[in-house]
Amino acid sequence: MQTRTIIPEAVIASALTLALSSPSSRAGEWSISMPIHAPNLTLDLSATPADGQIEKSVGELFDMATAYATFGVKYQNDDGHYISYQGWYGKYGNDEAFHQEIPSHPNNPKEVGMGFNMKQQIHAIEMGIQLLDSHDFELYGTVGVRDYDLTIDVNVWQEGLGLPGSDLPGLKSVRTEFAWHEITAGIAAKYTIHGGHTLDASYSLGNGGSYRAEAAYGYRFDNGIFTRTGYRVDYFEADGIPVEESGVMFEFGYTF
């Protein structure tokens, strides 16, 4: 397992608490939500003993999903500054992510395949400092921390078929586990079209090479219920293994 600890989360949490604890900042609003990301997955394993690349569409990932949970909470004070937390947990598995027959001999073809199981947790804390609020347009500078916990199991197999005496089935299993933290910095913008209709976009970069970019349309009802629909790209590297998750996002929540 690889662990990269950049700074304890307690230090970040203390700094965010102090930033939002001034007397003029105690009023504001809270929101809780379920932020769902429905991504396509690209997993480059060329730097590992498995030596391959896995690409899965959002439909295939849903078919492979064995567990999924998500939660978000946000507080924004009357000065426009905010602090938020979002967490995701997912488990995916596919015994035949890649399968191909190799015609090494007409009477003795071989089959090779690769399967994988992946478990991931991502926790993100972010503070937004309002830099501009003018003509329904808001601009924020953001800082925070993202915590990653990722386990990838890859099974590579080959099997000889056909003639007696052909190669016996072979199986190679590779497990990689990673856990690390990254400090993030970025920018976010929001435009209120009219009423409860909004457009927002954000980009943040982690000091370990990760980045997150998203853009969404949102609507807030008079009773406090809100929705956001858009597109998100998450990219990070786990000890040299590039992982990209990109696709539609949907958030449903309540503000009070």
Phi and psi angles of residue 51, each rounded to the nearest 5 degrees, phi first: 50, 70
Question: Does the pLDDT at position 254 exceed 60?
Answer: yes
Neighbours of 76 (CB within 10 A): 19
Task: Report the C-alpha gap between 64 and 92 in whole angstroms.
Answer: 5
Question: Does the pLDDT at position 246 exceed 60?
Answer: yes
Q: Quote the pLDDT of residue 159.
A: 60
* CA angle 120–125–129, rounded 5-degree value: 150
Q: What is the pLDDT of residues 97-155, one digit of tens each?
A: 555 555 555 555 566 666 778 888 999 999 999 999 999 999 999 999 999 998 878 77
Q: Quote the pLDDT of residue 56.
A: 75
Question: Does the pLDDT at position 192 exceed 80?
Answer: yes
Question: Does the pLDDT at position 66 exceed 90?
Answer: no
Task: Report the C-alpha gap between 53 and 114 in whole angstroms.
Answer: 10
pTM, entire model: 0.74
Q: What is the pLDDT of residues 69-110, one digit of tens each?
A: 899 999 999 999 999 999 999 888 766 555 555 555 555 556
**H helices within 72-199, ranges in order?**
none
What percent of the chain stands above pLDDT 70? 71
Question: Does the pLDDT at position 216 exceed 50?
Answer: yes
Q: What CATH number belongs to 2-98+111-255? A: 2.40.128.90
Phi and psi angles of residue 11, each rounded to the nearest 5 degrees, phi first: -65, -45
65-77 and 28-44 strand pairing: antiparallel
Mean pLDDT, the chain, as a whole number?
Answer: 80
Instruction: Give the tokens for residue 67.
Output: 């567990």
Task: Report the C-alpha gap between 55 and 53 in whole angstroms.
Answer: 7
User: How would residue 3 be classed by pLDDT, with cut points 50, 70 and 90?
Assistant: very low
Q: Quote the pLDDT of residue 118.
A: 81
